[in-house]
């Protein structure tokens, strides 16, 4: 806690109108949003890479933004750090009755379902639907997964993954029909339904769709750069190669991973 208190003191000093840093003094809750988001994504990237040295640094940057937001709220007499900590402490106790009370939860999925139910009860005065409260600024895959999780918490869910797989087949067939008819708007709708169904399958299997897609993006990046490197090393232009030739190098790059 010594270093935490020190960080709060440093940020308070940086925000001092007379002796602080002009840049820090100038900032508002809103002006820091882009930096806040960037630091969050840098932390996520460090987690995905299992770079814990980098993660410890990025979490510090994230903490800086949290304390900066609290400091600005304190200056505006809105709330202080104790208010923030008390709210999260109380929330954790309320939403873990299987640990701090007489509730029950058989597994991690049961815990998550309980959390969503308790959260819905707490928010029902301000929210009219079980799927309200999802920030729409998040990536669409994350929104889809969270929406499905919230719907599942009130019983709107298949008992296992098989119906979800069948639903994807159904949506794929509908997309094929729209494609045959060259119905652009219908194709777009059906493609969205397919993506939503894929998210549902991933959720039922316990996968995070956003992370799964990122892994594939990373694989594509590595393989594509190897194809580029091949042509660069041989002083050939990729634009002069046929798709078959490019695919041949792609397959070699793919095999190199194993």
Alpha-carbon distance values, 140 to 48, 130, 137, 209 (Å): 19, 18, 8, 10
Q: Do 105 and 153 contact (CB within 8 A), yes or no? A: no
pLDDT at 120 over 80: no
Do 202 and 126 share a domain, yes or no? yes
- Condensed to tens digits (0 to 9), the pLDDT of residues 122-141 reads 887 777 788 888 888 888 99
pTM for this entry: 0.68
Q: Quick one: 218 and 126 in the same domain? A: no
My answer on whether 106 and 204 are in the same domain is yes
pLDDT at res. 75: 97
Q: Which long-range contacts (CB under 8 A, 24 or more apart) does 210-219 make?
A: 210/139, 210/141, 210/142, 210/145, 211/48, 213/141, 214/48, 219/257
pLDDT tens-place string over residues 67-98? 999 999 999 999 999 999 999 999 999 989 98
Total tally of structural domains belonging to the chain: 3
Q: 171 with 193: CB under 8 angstroms?
A: yes
Q: Looking at residue 170, what is its pLDDT?
A: 97
Q: Which of 47, 78, 94 is the last residue of a domain?
A: 94
pLDDT at residue 118, rounded to an integer: 84
Q: Which domain holds residue 106?
A: 100-210
CATH of the domain at 114: 1.10.287.1080
Of 94, 111, 127, the position where a domain reaches its end is 94
Claim to verify: residue 187 and residue 216 sit in the same structural domain: no
Q: How high is the pLDDT of residue 121?
A: 80
pLDDT tens per residue, range 136-180? 888 899 999 999 999 998 889 999 999 999 999 999 999 999 999
Residue 167 shares a structural domain with residue 69: no
pLDDT in tens, 33-43: 989 999 999 99
For the segment 37-68, what is each residue's pLDDT rounded down to a tens digit? 999 999 998 998 899 999 999 999 999 999 99
Does residue 201 sit in the same domain as residue 109? yes
Residue that terminates a domain, selected from 94, 109, 139: 94
Give mean pLDDT, residues 196-210: 94
**What average pLDDT score do residues 225-234 get?**
92
Task: Tally Cβ neighbours within 10 Å of residue 37.
Answer: 12
């Amino acid at each position: 806690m010594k270093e935490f208190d020190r960080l709060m003191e440093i940020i308070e000093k940086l925000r001092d109108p007379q002796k602080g840093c002009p840049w820090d003094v100038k900032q508002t809750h809103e002006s820091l949003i882009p930096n806040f988001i960037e630091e969050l994504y840098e932390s996520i990237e460090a987690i995905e890479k299992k770079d814990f040295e980098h993660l410890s640094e990025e979490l510090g940057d994230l903490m800086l933004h949290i304390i900066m937001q609290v400091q600005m709220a304190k200056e505006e007499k809105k709330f202080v750090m104790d208010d923030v900590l008390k709210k999260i402490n109380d929330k954790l106790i309320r939403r873990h009755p299987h640990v701090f009370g007489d509730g029950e939860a058989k597994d991690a999925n049961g815990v998550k379902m309980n959390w969503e139910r308790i959260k819905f009860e707490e928010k029902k005065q301000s929210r009219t639907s079980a799927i309200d409260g999802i920030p729409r600024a998040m990536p669409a895959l994350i929104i889809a997964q969270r929406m499905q999780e919230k719907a599942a918490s009130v019983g709107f869910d298949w008992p296992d993954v098989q119906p979800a797989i069948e639903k994807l087949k159904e949506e794929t067939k509908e997309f094929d029909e729209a494609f045959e008819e060259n119905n652009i708007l219908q194709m777009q709708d059906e493609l969205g339904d397919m993506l939503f169904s894929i998210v549902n399958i991933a959720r039922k299997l316990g996968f995070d769709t956003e992370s799964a897609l990122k892994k594939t993006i990373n694989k594509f990046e590595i393989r594509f750069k190897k194809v580029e490197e091949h042509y660069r090393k041989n002083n050939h232009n990729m634009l002069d190669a046929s798709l078959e030739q490019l695919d041949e190098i792609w397959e070699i790059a793919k095999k190199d991973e194993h």
